[in-house]
Amino acid sequence: MTYPSKLIGTPELAACAMATVRKWQADTRVEQFCPICSAPGVKIVDKSSRPHMSWYEFTCQACGLHEAVAVPTGAHTTDHDS
């Protein structure tokens, strides 16, 4: 049993993955590119389960990426909600 190494392990890659999610949300029919290896045809699955944070699972055949990234929901961030 091997522990899967984290491919999306830097803030830069996480930002890239989030940008990919945003593009995917704009039109889910458009093919997106892997944030790790830039290969086309990366699969994104909405795994959302929290009110202020969404999880999107990336699957890439080319580099073996299979990882979920957290994306804050909403167009703008609010630090205080009252």
Please give the sequence-ordered ranges of beta strands (E in DSSP) within the chain, or none if there are none.
32-33, 40-46, 53-59, 66-72
HSE value, Cβ hemisphere, 13 Å, CA-based, for 29: 0
Q: How far is the CB of 35 from Zn ion (least distance, A)?
A: 8
**From the list 16, 36, 69, 71, which residue makes contact with Zn ion (rule: CB under 5 A)?**
36
Query: Which residues from 51-80 bind Zn ion, rule CB under 5 A?
Result: 60, 62-63, 65
Q: How far is the CB of 22 from Zn ion (least distance, A)?
A: 18
Looking up tokens 């996480």 gives: 14
Interface residues toward Zn ion, by CB under 5 A: 34, 36-37, 39, 60, 62-63, 65
